[in-house]
Amino acid sequence: MDQRARTSAPQTGADSYLYRRVAALLSGEIAQGRIARGTRLYESRVAARFGISRSPARQALELLAREGVLQAVAAPSRGFVVADRNAAPEKGPEAANLPDLPLTTRPAWERIHGAVVDAIASRIVLSSWWINETALGEHFGVSRTVAREVLARLQAQGLVTVEGKRWIAPQLTEQRVDELYDMRAILECAALRKAAPGFPRARLLQMHDRLQKALVGHPSGEELDRLEADLHVDFLQSCPNRMLQRAVSQHQALLLAHRFFYRWTARMFDVEPFLAEHLRILDHVLEGRIDNAAETLDAHLMASKRRAMMRIDLVRAMMQPDDPGYLRPAD
């Protein structure tokens, strides 16, 4: 392409990832019986428990209510109760004594997370970049503590790393992409085997339905990102092994970068190939064929690796990013 795009175009925040992550954790605890049927959940207490603002807490509860995992309490009462699709909810305890599972320290990091991801994703197709956390804070008008929090979270998600005492965003070279996908295949297949037995069937059917609709529609880049998150975030992060959860997240740098890539390459294929691949995986899970589901996920990730390099090449040809001041070429 001879017309290059500037990165001041579409931006996205972390709200989508955050509320989906909370919903996945709550759904997993409900499926495992750690939160009993009839337990009442309030957005204020969910927010306090996970260390997030009330907005993503409310979105997480509303998502679970739409999917039948929770039921809204009739006015004048407030909150939601854990539902049983086969019986009326029994009066249960409030979820006040569950252990805290903080996801964030202050909502301030959420407001800049998406813009930082976009800035990094648009540049690591070109080279590696040093990140100055002081300049990052000044650029967005936040404290150095908040800037460090954002970078720490991106490190946990595999997008940035530390060399010596400096933050660096490694270039998405063919070798790095190959290694990331090899690790994803190992970790995500293991997570699938552990997540599948306890994942609510109703939510699987919801995901299946969204994929079928997308196959006959024309999903936007943001919709493709949400469909990717259904399987690779919501489903896999319900895995009860928390060490495995963290390991999966740490090797999903490309999944995070794809949120940016999809907005620029949404029409790369007439029909996005991963939609049918995800459907086959869910078909196996719904039929209890867990080994087949894991094998199909492995094949999907290997095919995705090839497509990822195609997207990176395309985005590289489109990008001529401005200098935000907090990034400096490392080469």
**Complete edge-to-edge strand list for the sheet that includes strand 70-72:** 40-41, 80-82, 70-72
Q: Which of 59, 84, 58, 152 is nearest to 113 (CA)?
A: 152
Q: Are residues 100 and 130 in the same domain?
A: no
Q: Which of 209, 186, 222, 199 is nearest to 297 (CA)?
A: 186
Domain boundary among the residues 85, 104, 123 is at 104
Residue by residue, DSSP assigns 235-288 as: IGGG-S-HHHHHHHHHT-HHHHHHHHHHHHHTTSSSS-HHHHHHHHHHHHHHTT
The tens digit of pLDDT for each residue in 18-76 reads 788 888 889 888 888 888 888 889 888 887 787 676 778 888 999 999 999 999 887 77
Give Rg (Cα) of the chain. Answer: 20
Q: Are residues 38 and 20 in the same domain?
A: yes
Q: How many whole angstroms separate alpha carbon 192 and alpha carbon 21?
A: 16
* Structural domain boundaries enclosing 220: 174-318
Cβ contact 150:144 at 8 Å: no
- Burial level of 120, CB count in 10 A (0-12/13-18/19+)? buried
Look at 3-17, 44-58, 76-90, 130-144 and tell me which has the smallest mean pLDDT. 3-17
Query: How many domains, the chain?
Result: 3
Q: Are residues 100 and 114 in the same domain?
A: no
Helix (H, G, I), strand (E, B) or coil at 319: strand
Assigned domain for 243 exists: yes
CATH number of the domain at 5, please.
1.10.10.10
Band of pLDDT at residue 268, cut at 50, 70 and 90 = confident
pTM: 0.65
Q: Are residues 128 and 163 in the same domain?
A: yes
Per-residue H/E/C for 280-313? HHHHHHHCCCHHHHHHHHHHHHHHHHHHHHHHHH
The tens digit of pLDDT for each residue in 164-219 reads 889 999 999 999 999 999 999 999 999 999 999 999 999 999 999 999 999 998 88
**Complete edge-to-edge strand list for the sheet that includes strand 161-163:** 161-163, 166-169, 129-131, 327-329
Q: Are residues 192 and 263 in the same domain?
A: yes
3-class SS shares of the chain: helix, strand, coil, % to 5: 60, 10, 30
